Amino acid sequence: MGRQRGRGNYPHDFKRQVVAETLVAGATVTGVSRRHGLNANMVFQWCKDDRFQPAPDPTVLLPVEVVGAVDERQPIRPIVARVEITTRSGHRLVVTDSEDPTAIANLVRALEAV
């Protein structure tokens, strides 16, 4: 069981795992709750809490707008990518292509866990 100490003090990772189990096809909150020895009402509350929702699918395609045509006579300059990320919890990150993608992903996960 993922229980730490004290009554009702469960780690966030455990709560995310339980919520993820409720999202599997054919699963029910009641069934998952019983399997872990939890009160179903508590698991329903976890399911409503954005902090315990699974991370979005990273393979989802985002809309892109191409602006202007490339002038082949111009010298090629390095492209500096700039991405703004707003998390579900309201944190805003501005990222450039010089950042480490793994570090950014870890930072976003940490901010979502807050």
Query: Per residue in 62-106, pLDDT tens?
Result: 677 777 666 667 666 666 677 787 777 777 777 776 667 777 777
Residue 7's pLDDT band, with cuts at 50, 70 and 90, is low
- Give the per-residue pLDDT at 4: 44
- Give the per-residue pLDDT at 99: 64
* Mean pLDDT taken over the chain: 79
- Give the per-residue pLDDT at 108: 77
Candidates 47, 2, 55; CA nearest to 27 is 47
- C-alpha dist (Å) from residue 94 to 4, 47, 74, 84, 99: 36, 29, 29, 4, 10
pLDDT digits (tens, 9 = 90+) for 43-57: 999 999 989 988 776
Between 2 and 87, residue with greater pLDDT: 87
pLDDT of 3 above 60:
no
